[in-house]
Chain A
């Protein structure tokens, strides 16, 4: 185990940020701490880095008890959301900072900086100031700076959060490739479930200071153990007292086994995808169920507004039983991404 977290708790005044967290992170693994903002994931990352002191519990890094160690003695690489670039230093100066502090010979620093700048594709910018770089370039510089000290673990706090959507996608694919090359134990914090599913080997879902579920991305997506994880990791809709993914619903214009009867209330095409609101006959007062399918399927089945239909979950669809009345409706799922249930984006 590269990082061993045991019983870590933290409160700020009367706000409980973390409640007795236990977590092991394996060497060489790329782990995502995923959850809504204010859920405690950044606090946990900062405690691992030594930038925040836990009220209770212990942190072990590479077999060394790091609980009482200050940040500068932990040998962790930390990447901040807003880059935290040293503005007065050049790109090379930024990357070489940790080595300079360690009083390495100048030649060695120069060679290592050169190597890292190549790794992050910034060689031609070595003598620029951070102000002359784009956001994505700055973040790659920050990454090279963190890697320069050959950290035992690399920690990234919402590393792509300040970037444009396109750059963000590009950079996360690049991070994945970089990790496959460098193999340093990496933990990154994100509130974007797509980012976590795309990049991580393992996802730790954190909500309200507690770990909700830990596992590989597919397992979490397919077998969520709670309503929260289910709805946080992907789109959901309500059918028969269960949460189910809208693309896991079969739809026909004729009755079939165990299918629920309804009527298409709204037909909305978004690019290749068709989103249907189905008002169920059995309970007209319930919010309509959301069904997504491809345009080709919708055309083949001649679906349109007002058409009577029958729907049921496909075999093996992930479902979570709703225990409390969830504040979800097809409306909020479809149109308001910032609703009380964290909303995945259909991109």
Chain B
């Protein structure tokens, strides 16, 4: 089509507005955090990472995220297969419900879990406590909160892929004598592999960064239930350069993990043409 001067001006103006907007909202602030972390050089950052509280917080975060992702993966694959391959009453409702955790405020998630699993007043928590299982203010609660907020991510990736591949290959495998399990392992799983990995990376990123829900169910006690994000909050609110550098260091590492996850995801995703 004819590209007149007016169109070129519009295009440049739009481009500059968008870049400017992103610069002020995302790029510059993120760059500043990186700069602040290393404002006193590398040594204070390394010192911060040597603190036992920091090491503990990251270990707790990693193990909670690990278990949440394991649970979400098993649950996600199962639910996705059920939603796509089977019909049953209430399928549509379930399909809508599994997206619910994405829309619920983390604070509401925390409150909901406390109401049911609190050892003091919870619906189920009291019996569980008597059976010797503490959920709230303990790692199981952290894992549940983390699993809750990242629950739909694997499912959302798998459902479209399962639709896409259809059932012909599976039926072919069955007709050639493969058992249900063999068909799943040899045909279905390889076909959904990338969607699954993608969903797992997404869940992991989301799990490592969860804050609000975990804050409520964990209590945030240092060296016991304090995760990395809770540590950032606590240290930032305390006085002193060391605390501030520690907060920035932990935040920087969390941001770094997030960006790495983002890059992995972007490179995994089959590249879609983004221009005409």
Contacts and interface: CB of A to CB of B under 8 A. Distances in A.
Do the two chains touch directly in the complex (Cβ atoms below 8 Å apart)? yes
Interface of A: 50-51, 53, 70-71
A70 B2 CA distance: 6
B1 interface: yes
A53 B1 CA distance: 7
Contacts of B4: 70
Nearest to B3: A53
Given A50-B2, A51-B1, 8 more contacts: A50-B1, A53-B1, A53-B2, A70-B1, A70-B2, A70-B4, A71-B1, A71-B2
Nearest to A52: B1
A25 to B, nearest CB: 22
B273 to A, nearest CB: 18
10 contacts: A50-B1, A50-B2, A51-B1, A53-B1, A53-B2, A70-B1, A70-B2, A70-B4, A71-B1, A71-B2
A71 B4 CA distance: 13
A288 B243 CA distance: 92
B1 to A, nearest CB: 6
A50 B1 CA distance: 7
Interface string B1-43: 1101000000000000000000000000000000000000000
A51 B4 CA distance: 14
B245 to A, nearest CB: 55
A93 to B, nearest CB: 23
A133 to B, nearest CB: 26
Nearest to A51: B1
Contacts of A70: 1-2, 4
Q: Which 9 residue pairs across A and B have the least CB separation, nearest first?
A: A70-B2, A53-B2, A51-B1, A71-B1, A70-B1, A50-B2, A71-B2, A70-B4, A50-B1
A50 B2 CA distance: 8
B215 to A, nearest CB: 45
A80 to B, nearest CB: 14
Nearest to A46: B1
Contacts of B1: 50-51, 53, 70-71
Contacts of A51: 1
Contacts of A50: 1-2
Contacts of A71: 1-2
Contacts of B2: 50, 53, 70-71
A70 B7 CA distance: 13
A133 B207 CA distance: 47
Nearest to A70: B2
Interface string B105-131: 000000000000000000000000000
B168 to A, nearest CB: 24
A300 B2 CA distance: 65
Contacts of A53: 1-2
B41 to A, nearest CB: 51
Nearest to A73: B2
A96 B2 CA distance: 25
A54 to B, nearest CB: 11
A169 to B, nearest CB: 33
A8 to B, nearest CB: 16
A70 B5 CA distance: 13
A70 B4 CA distance: 10
A248 B45 CA distance: 91
Nearest to B4: A70
A51 B2 CA distance: 8
A143 B226 CA distance: 68
A71 B2 CA distance: 8
B190 to A, nearest CB: 34
A300 B1 CA distance: 62
A191 to B, nearest CB: 24
A343 B171 CA distance: 39
B266 to A, nearest CB: 29
Nearest to A69: B2
A250 B83 CA distance: 68
A68 to B, nearest CB: 8
A70 B6 CA distance: 13
B30 to A, nearest CB: 38
Interface in B203-223: none
A201 B50 CA distance: 87
A22 B178 CA distance: 66
A71 B1 CA distance: 8
A192 B66 CA distance: 61
A54 B2 CA distance: 10
A266 B57 CA distance: 84
A10 to B, nearest CB: 14
A110 to B, nearest CB: 31
A1 B36 CA distance: 74
B138 to A, nearest CB: 54
A5 B267 CA distance: 49
Nearest to B2: A70
Nearest to A53: B2
A53 B2 CA distance: 7
Nearest to A50: B2
A251 to B, nearest CB: 50
